[in-house]
């Protein structure tokens, strides 16, 4: 008479660890932006004018005169306490988790790409002066969209839920941007810059290890960030040159 097979112990559930970087750059950017806003307030109080804004905000005539730093510096300046509070909250909530996955250098390159591409779009399509970190913040939203899309097979339902959430946030903010006085062209440009940068330089997650312990590693690494940043500069810089050359006029 055959003996029944001995019961086997259930297999332990798989565990997945992800190598994350402690955020640092996002908080440095936040601190620098707040300090500059305090300088803006002090300048208005003691000089009667916002000198940092005059020197750094996006003003098309000054850019056409050669002050090309204004494609970057508006992301460090703000027009009101509510303006900076909203953007710095977004930087902390969205930027810090992104930096954990992107790493310090790649996150800084992403933030720069969003600021540059957003201000180029605004330069091309809006005659109004503008300032604010929302160009770079929309770059972060674009990065999240690409990251969760490219890693949807690894992250599964978590990626689908996150992707839906990010798309909803971006859509709502673009609708809000239709209100008077908001530079929605800058938002769209920042979003496009973040999408382009992350498509070529965002983390590509790879599952490594043996059951039941796995580790999520970044197959791409930060080495691609310089190429992607150069690509963003080349593409949006070429668009800006259309206006410098008088080919594109608004």
Task: Enter the pTM of the model.
Answer: 0.89
| 40 in a structural domain | yes
| 56 in a structural domain | yes
| 14 in a structural domain | no
What's residue 188's pLDDT? 94
The catalytic position among 117, 122, 130, 134 is: 134
- Smallest CA-to-CA distance from 193 within 71, 40, 96, 86 is with 71
Query: Alpha carbon of 213 to those of 9, 16, 229, 236: distances in Å?
Result: 18, 6, 35, 44
| 9 in a structural domain | no
C-alpha span between 119 and 215 (Å, rounded)? 39
Within 91-156, where are the H helices? 96-102, 104-125, 134-150, 152-155
What's residue 225's pLDDT? 92
| 27 in a structural domain | yes
Provide the CATH number for the domain around residue 152.
1.20.1540.10
| 4 in a structural domain | no
What's residue 158's pLDDT? 77
How do beta strands 15-18 and 205-210 pair? Answer: unpaired
Full residue range of the structural domain in which residue 121 is found: 19-210+217-244
Q: What is the pLDDT of residues 49-99, one digit of tens each?
A: 999 999 999 999 999 999 999 999 999 999 999 999 989 999 999 999 999
How do beta strands 15-18 and 213-218 pair? Answer: parallel
What's residue 142's pLDDT? 94
What's residue 174's pLDDT? 73
What's residue 111's pLDDT? 98
To the query of whether residue 134 is one of the catalytic residues in this protein, the response is: yes
| 249 in a structural domain | no
| 185 in a structural domain | yes
To the query of whether residue 80 is one of the catalytic residues in this protein, the response is: no
What's residue 166's pLDDT? 80
C-alpha span between 102 and 177 (Å, rounded)? 28
C-alpha span between 162 and 206 (Å, rounded)? 19
- Give yes or no for a cis peptide into 212 (omega within 30° of 0): yes
Query: Which regions of the chain are under pLDDT 70?
Result: 1-19, 177-178, 208-214, 248-250
Q: Provide the token pair at 142.
A: 């674009």
The catalytic position among 78, 122, 130, 187 is: 187
Task: Specify the number of domains making up the chain.
Answer: 1
């Amino acid at each position: 008479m055959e003996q029944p097979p001995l019961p086997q112990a259930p297999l332990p559930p798989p565990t997945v660890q992800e190598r994350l970087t402690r955020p640092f750059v996002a908080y440095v950017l936040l601190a620098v932006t707040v300090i500059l806003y305090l300088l803006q307030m002090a300048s208005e109080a003691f000089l009667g004018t916002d000198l940092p804004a005059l020197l750094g905000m996006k003003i098309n005539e000054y850019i056409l005169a050669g002050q090309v730093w204004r494609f970057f510096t508006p992301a460090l300046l703000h027009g009101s306490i509510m303006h900076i509070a909203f953007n710095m909250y977004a930087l902390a909530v969205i930027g810090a988790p992104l930096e954990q996955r992107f790493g310090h250098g790649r996150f800084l390159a992403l933030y720069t790409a969003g600021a540059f591409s957003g201000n180029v779009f605004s330069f091309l399509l809006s005659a109004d002066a503008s300032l604010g970190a929302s160009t770079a913040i929309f770059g972060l939203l674009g990065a999240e969209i690409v990251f969760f899309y490219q890693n949807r097979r690894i992250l599964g339902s978590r990626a689908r839920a996150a992707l839906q959430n990010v798309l909803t946030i971006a859509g709502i903010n673009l609708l809000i941007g239709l209100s008077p006085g908001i530079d929605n062209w800058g938002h769209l440009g920042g979003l496009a810059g973040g999408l382009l940068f992350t498509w070529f330089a965002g983390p590509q997650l790879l599952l490594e290890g043996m059951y039941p312990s796995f580790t999520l590693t970044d197959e791409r690494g930060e080495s691609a960030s310089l190429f992607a940043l150069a690509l963003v500069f080349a593409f949006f810089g070429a668009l800006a040159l259309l206006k410098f050359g008088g080919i594109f006029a608004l």
